[in-house]
Homo-oligomer: A and B are copies of this chain.
């Protein structure tokens, strides 16, 4: 069933393949990776999530970046469960605070994420760096997550989620060589992530999907912004929203892979989740000359969690992509499975077009 052909070597990268960045850390997941072609290699910029080793079930250990005497260090905060009956520990990814009025806010993340490069000649066998390639700094004190890579000329622009006590925002960095990375600051204020920049100017402007999460009014929906210079963004328009009509899009929706130019328009692979946080992938086509015009949208997911390695893991029932590659008539999708492994699936463009009703 389905149009996605999973690679028989899946999962391609597992937590056990990653050497922890600190002696007392444990790698919980290697997943959600940006994808690029660089020289003769396929590069995955992988999110690596680490927790602090902990044998004591009475406590939760929180890793974060702190500044101490002008030096950035990785610090562990100890939360004694007994002392915090007002915290909810049921989500493996975060500690929630239950407020007096019954609302909940994330108080801490249980893991700290950084980026590590995995390289491959064949797109299947990857070698991952022994050490972090991009590590969060004190401005991302709760970590950096979910990179998306857009190649423009010789520059690779990387959007990423920057998390701190102030919220979940989107930062931008750029590299020419995947060795040195230049930080360009926060381009979208919190709460906003899942940002995918189109790989070329369209009618004089760059475009990017972004996914703000408003609090009082509205849903976690996809918006489209434009920019003259990739650093400053405006012209925000609502693009695609959650809907009760499709169960699998009833919870949240957001950018996935960086948009890919095809002869039929911009092909956009997005993620969507239902109210139980089951994450699937969908596809839309939008107009080559005006990406705010939606040509076609998939009624059903083009991929949903089915394999055991997608159903079970750090956060189960999840397929989530940050990038793909077009190879002839085939789309290669690299994706995070259950928030802890990296996998690959191939989908024929013609099968996506059929799903979109344009073939």
- By a beta-carbon cutoff of 8 Å, the part of chain A in contact with chain B is 102-106, 142, 163-169, 172, 185-192, 210, 212-219, 221, 223, 225-229, 231-238, 241
Contact = CB atoms under 8 A, between A and B. Distances in A.
B191 A218 contact: yes
Q: Which of A105, A210, A215 has the largest count of B CB atoms less than 10 A from its CB?
A: A215
B217 A191 contact: yes
A223 B170 CA distance: 14
A188 B236 contact: yes
Given A166-B218, A214-B168, A235 B189 contact: no
Copies of the chain in the assembly: 2
A251 to B, nearest CB: 12
Nearest to A237: B186
Given A191-B212, A228-B229, A186 B217 contact: no
A202 to B, nearest CB: 15
29 contacts: A102-B102, A102-B103, A106-B217, A142-B217, A164-B217, A166-B217, A166-B218, A167-B212, A167-B218, A168-B214, A168-B216, A188-B236, A189-B210, A189-B223, A189-B236, A190-B214, A190-B217, A191-B214, A191-B215, A191-B217, A191-B218, A214-B215, A227-B232, A228-B228, A228-B229, A229-B232, A231-B234, A231-B235, A232-B234
B236 A186 contact: yes
A187 B236 contact: yes
Contact of A238 (B103, B166, B227): B166
B232 A212 contact: no
A166 B241 contact: yes
Nearest to A100: B275
Contact of A189 (B102, B166, B188, B232): B188
B102 A234 contact: no
Contacts of A231: 234-235
Contacts of A189: 188, 192, 210, 212, 223, 225, 236
A163 to B, nearest CB: 7
